[in-house]
């Protein structure tokens, strides 16, 4: 294949990428910008991988693949680090508080507060993410399902371990205020991410 043709195609795709970045920069919300780039890089990567075009634009195809991986890492893990960080700050050292007790007197006040703060911090962070993703759409079913499952695999085991450890402890007389998301509910929420009826341009 003529090297001049390769360079022309590469130049064209570089301009296209710059246009995508410029368009992404117009979004006010960081999450919307990231999903917009993911959707477009993914579409471009799929197109470049079809037929003989992959030979012509292999360098750009590799760059697009890396961009997709970077964006996926943001959605699948980095978005949820604050949520999981809230759980990691729990400090309960006593073994006196056991499931099934009616009184929370056997737990130290600092321990009860630690568990309350952990559940409340996780809930708040998750609520922010859930609200943010309601504005977003990933139209490609395979990509969306893959990302949803990756988030489930990353978040749910950590949350379930925390939930199983602390949910039955007598840390509050009003535990329903803090335990908003049983593990099954959390998983169902994540499985609804990035699906909206009227698809935006992201």
DSSP output for 152-174: HHHHHHHHHHHHHHHTTS-S-TT
pLDDT digits (tens, 9 = 90+) for 61-120: 777 888 899 989 988 888 888 888 888 877 665 444 443 333 445 788 888 999 999 999
CA dihedral 35, 37, 43, 48 (to 10 degrees): -150
What the block records as the tokens of 18 is 């710059």
CA dist 7 and 166 (Å) reads 60
Q: Is the dihedral of CA 60, 62, 66, 72 positive or negative?
A: positive
C-alpha angle 119-125-130 in degrees, rounded to nearest 5: 120
pLDDT at position 196 is 74
DSSP state of 191: T
- Cβ–Cβ under 8 Å, residues 37 and 57: no
pLDDT at position 103 is 42
Distance of CA 84 to the CA centre of its chain: 12
Residue ranges of the chain whose pLDDT lies below 50: 94-104, 199-201
Residue 135, C-beta contacts closer than 8 angstroms, at least 6 positions apart: 29, 31, 32, 196, 200
pLDDT at position 56 is 55
- Cβ–Cβ under 8 Å, residues 35 and 194: yes
From first CA to last CA, the distance across the chain in angstroms is: 35
CA dist 13 and 6 (Å) reads 11
């Amino acid at each position: 294949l003529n090297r001049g043709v390769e360079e022309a195609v590469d130049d064209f795709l570089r301009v296209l990428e710059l246009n995508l970045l410029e368009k992404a920069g117009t979004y006010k919300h960081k999450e919307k910008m990231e999903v917009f780039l993911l959707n477009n890089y993914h579409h471009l990567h799929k197109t470049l991988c079809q037929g003989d075009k992959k030979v012509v634009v292999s360098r750009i195809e590799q760059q697009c693949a890396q961009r997709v991986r970077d964006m996926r890492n943001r959605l699948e893990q980095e978005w949820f680090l604050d949520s999981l960080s809230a759980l990691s700050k729990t400090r309960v050292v006593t073994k006196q508080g056991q499931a099934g007790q009616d009184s929370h007197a056997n737990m130290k006040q600092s321990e009860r507060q630690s568990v309350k703060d952990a559940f409340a911090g996780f809930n708040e962070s998750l609520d922010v993410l859930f609200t943010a993703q309601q504005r977003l759409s990933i139209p490609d079913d395979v990509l969306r399902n893959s990302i949803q499952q990756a988030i489930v695999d990353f978040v749910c085991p950590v949350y379930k371990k925390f939930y199983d450890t602390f949910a039955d402890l007598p840390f509050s007389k009003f535990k329903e205020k803090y335990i908003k998301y049983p593990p099954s509910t959390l998983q169902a929420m994540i499985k609804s991410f990035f699906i909206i009826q009227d698809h935006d341009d992201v």
